[in-house]
């Protein structure tokens, strides 16, 4: 604004001086009118600082013209030169303005396009950031859900959380979980669970599950080679048949802790984008399986006899009372077998205690093989064992006793450099037939003691009658 006012003052001064020098006339005004219009255009509409230079040039033209050509001649020449200079300057400015305007337009388009591109990139980054935030939130939720596994100490409970909390929102067609229940007495005991079934118990062993179980050896080999997960794309893959896969792509996670394989998680028809979530679940699952195995081992060691792997007396009495209460509630029979190895003291004296310990272990094994899984076997003391047979009457108890006696009598035990043979005597007590207490509608602690006492008395009679026999 200041520069524009200065230009106007200069131009006015030049015109006044020129009018004085040039003997002001109407012609002089007409000649200088274009000059005035050009400069006003430049100053007002273009706001060009170059107009100041033009005024200076015109003023110098007037002065030098007057000095060189004289007062009369310089008037017309100066007027012509001034107008010509203004027109040429105006053309130059217009050309430069047009060039700058075109450049500005081009720059504007470039800037606008750049702005659009940047905005598009920013929007894309924001979308990616939102997706990443959503993914992180899902991962955090998954970790929080995985913590629920820490409170479960049974495989069925773990499988239930796995189905309902961890795998429920993930995509896969079918899945299998194979677990090794490595306890103190059963180091390799497979449990197989269907991850798309509502059944919590382990599956019955079918041909399909057998094929999957056979994949355990393959898993061990792959783990030794440094693999933790195998992705299988098609049924033509050699591993697809070995793991009995039914959908593709499939992921087979080798669940390991400290390089020890504790389980195999197989997901058929899985979504590749959920791979990270599958991996998190597999890691947590491996740790929990190891934890449950350790818990079961400690629990088993606390309730089982270290030598014979049968229940200790304390735990046996607890289970005995539970089964007796159940028998009273449902009006079922219950039988007790008291078993003793014949002449075991003489046996120890002859072969030594090391041979005697191995023989105790082998006899316990023969007893376990001769009874049902629901029956309760315990080492009652020394060379004496006791068995509780739920829902078993007198005939069933005698039959079970004979099965045990015969199995032991027919066995030859190879112990170190000795081959030995032993027999057992068995006494039987049956609830409620043999109880001295006739009121059997309500449980009393003395009932368990009475049954054990009656079975022990029957055992004593079996020994008196010649041993290697069953007495009720």
Q: How many C-beta atoms surround the C-beta of residue 30 within 10 A?
A: 10
Q: Is 383 a catalytic residue?
A: yes
Please, what's the largest Cα pairwise distance for the chain? 169
Partners of 337 in beta bridges: 387, 428
User: On the CB side of 294, how many CA atoms lie within 13 Å of its CA?
Assistant: 8
Segment (H or E) for 75:
helix 71-146
Which residue in the list 186, 369, 383, 446 is annotated as catalytic?
Answer: 383
Supply the DSSP string of 234-290, one letter for each residue.
Answer: STTSHHHHHTT--SSSEEEEEEEETTEEEEEEEEES--GGGHHHHHHHHHHHHHHHH
Q: How many C-beta atoms surround the C-beta of residue 441 within 10 A?
A: 8
| Distance in angstroms (rounded) separating the CA atoms of residues 284 and 142 | 11
Q: What are phi and psi of 185, to 5 degrees?
A: -105, -20
Contact between residue 265 and residue 174 where contact means Cβ atoms under 8 Å apart: no
Contact between residue 382 and residue 347 where contact means Cβ atoms under 8 Å apart: no
| Distance in angstroms (rounded) separating the CA atoms of residues 8 and 441 | 126
| Distance in angstroms (rounded) separating the CA atoms of residues 349 and 361 | 18
Nearest to 400 by CA among 383, 412, 388, 410: 388
* Pairing state between β 334-341 and 424-431: antiparallel
Q: What SS3 string covers 325-388?
A: HHHHHHCCCEEEEEEEECCHHHHHHHHCHHHHHHHHHHHHHHHHHHCCCCCEEEEEECCEEEEE
| Distance in angstroms (rounded) separating the CA atoms of residues 265 and 288 | 13
Q: Is the backbone of residue 112 left (phi > 0), alpha (psi -120 to 50) or beta?
A: alpha
For residues 90-113, b (16+ Cβ closer than 10 Å) or e, as one string?
A: beebeeeeeeeeeeeeeeeeeeee
Active-site amino acid positions: 383
């Amino acid at each position: 604004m200041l520069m524009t006012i200065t230009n106007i003052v200069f131009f006015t001064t030049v015109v006044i001086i020129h009018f004085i020098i040039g003997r002001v006339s109407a012609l002089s005004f007409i000649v200088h009118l274009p000059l005035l219009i050009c400069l006003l255009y430049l100053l007002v509409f273009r706001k060009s600082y170059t107009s100041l230079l033009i005024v200076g040039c015109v003023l110098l033209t007037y002065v030098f013209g007057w000095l060189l050509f004289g007062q009369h001649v310089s008037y017309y020449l100066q007027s012509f030169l001034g107008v010509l200079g203004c027109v040429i300057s105006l053309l130059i400015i217009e050309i430069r303005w047009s060039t700058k305007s075109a450049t500005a337009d081009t720059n504007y388009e470039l800037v606008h396009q750049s702005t659009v591109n940047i905005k598009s990139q920013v929007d894309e980054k924001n979308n990616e950031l939102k997706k990443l935030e959503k993914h992180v939130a899902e991962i955090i939720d998954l970790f929080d859900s995985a913590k629920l596994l820490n409170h479960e100490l049974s495989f069925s409970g773990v499988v239930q959380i796995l189905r309902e909390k961890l795998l429920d929102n993930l995509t896969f067609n079918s899945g299998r979980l194979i677990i090794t229940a490595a306890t103190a007495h059963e180091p390799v005991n497979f449990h197989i669970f269907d991850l798309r079934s509502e059944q919590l118990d382990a599956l019955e062993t079918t041909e399909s599950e057998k094929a999957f179980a056979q994949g355990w050896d393959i898993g061990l080999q792959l783990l030794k080679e440094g693999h933790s997960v195998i992705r299988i794309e098609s049924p033509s893959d050699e591993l697809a048949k070995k793991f009995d896969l039914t959908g593709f792509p499939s992921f087979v996670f080798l669940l390991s802790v400290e390089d020890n394989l504790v389980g195999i998680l197989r997901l058929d028809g899985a979504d590749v984008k959920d791979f990270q979530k599958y991996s998190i679940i597999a890691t947590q699952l491996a740790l929990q399986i190891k934890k449950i195995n350790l818990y079961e081992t400690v629990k088993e060691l606390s309730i089982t006899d270290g030598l014979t792997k049968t229940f200790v007396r304390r735990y046996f009495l607890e289970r005995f009372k539970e089964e007796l209460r159940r028998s009273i509630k449902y009006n079922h029979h219950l039988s007790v077998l008291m078993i003793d190895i014949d002449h075991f003291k003489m046996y120890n004296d002859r072969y030594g205690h090391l041979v005697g310990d191995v023989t105790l272990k082998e006899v316990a094994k023969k007893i376990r093989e001769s009874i049902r899984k629901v029956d309760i076997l315990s080492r009652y003391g020394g060379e004496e064992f006791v068995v509780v047979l739920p829902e078993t009457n007198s005939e069933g108890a005698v039959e079970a006793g004979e099965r045990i006696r015969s199995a032991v009598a027919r066995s030859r035990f190879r112990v170190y450099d000795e081959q030995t043979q032993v027999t057992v005597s068995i006494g039987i007590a049956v609830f409620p037939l043999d109880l001295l207490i006739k009121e059997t509608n309500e449980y009393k602690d003395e009932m368990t003691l009475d049954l054990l006492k009656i079975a022990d008395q029957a055992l004593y009679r079996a020994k008196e009658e010649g041993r290697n026999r069953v007495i009720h």
